[in-house]
Amino acid sequence: MRKYFLLHAIVGVAMIAGAIAIYELFQPYIRARSLLSEIAALQVGKSDFEEAKRTGARLGSQGNDPCLSADCYWAFEVDNFKLPAAWRGEGTRFVAVFRVQNSIVSEQHFVLQIGTGYNAQTADFWERETWPHLPKQFIVGTQSSEIDPHFRSYVDLTPATPSDVRERYLSFNLNCLWKYRGCSDAKELLPTVDWP
């Protein structure tokens, strides 16, 4: 009888430890998916300050201090750096930012990156009401470095960008946050970008 209880206790502890490990593994992915979905639902140039405040509050932030309708931003970050390096590789970080100016959402910015520092490979999506240097509705580009041919991809858009184009380039590979060894370069971070 004692062995029976001991076996159940061991199995119970193993199940709890397994559930905690699974939660820790998938929590960054789930949080990043939530951030992307909620923030991308805001419409640059249309959504107002109150809608932005509600979205920020749902996601756990009141915005910068002071957060005024004239100018306020919300920034969120999630990463997998708590996972063992043997699992995550260099590690992956997802950053989501949105801003209100003059009572209207004026920009959204999403970045998925591998590693940290100067050599971090990134995929960038940035939508603003206006871009002084943007002669078209959107620009998609890539950059290489001396050590990495797939170093950075970027997408700059305005609200005039067709919705199917916007959706295409919001398809970050958030699996990089949980998969074994993460992703290896910017080409994997945003697979919808065409590389030369």
What is the reported pLDDT for 77? 97
How far apart are alpha carbons 90 and 102 in whole angstroms?
40
- Is the pTM higher than 0.85? The answer reads yes
How far apart are alpha carbons 151 and 162 in whole angstroms?
27
How far apart are alpha carbons 38 and 105 in whole angstroms?
13
How far apart are alpha carbons 19 and 151 in whole angstroms?
35
Which whole-number Å values give the CA distances from 38 to 11, 23, 119, in the listed order? 39, 21, 29
How far apart are alpha carbons 147 and 151 in whole angstroms?
8
What is the reported pLDDT for 8? 66
Mean pLDDT of each 10-residue bin along the chain, 196 residues long: 71 71 86 97 97 96 94 97 94 97 97 92 94 81 92 94 95 96 95 94
What is the reported pLDDT for 19? 72
| 3-state SS class at 166 | helix
| Closest to 147 (Cα-Cα) out of 177, 124, 121, 180 | 121
What is the reported pLDDT for 119? 87
Long-range contacts, stretch 52-56, CB < 8 angstroms, 24+ apart: 52/98, 52/100, 52/105, 55/98, 56/98
What is the reported pLDDT for 18? 67
Contact 103, 20 (CB under 8 A): no
Query: Where in the chain are the domains?
Result: 2-189
How far apart are alpha carbons 76 and 101 in whole angstroms?
18
How far apart are alpha carbons 7 and 22 in whole angstroms?
22
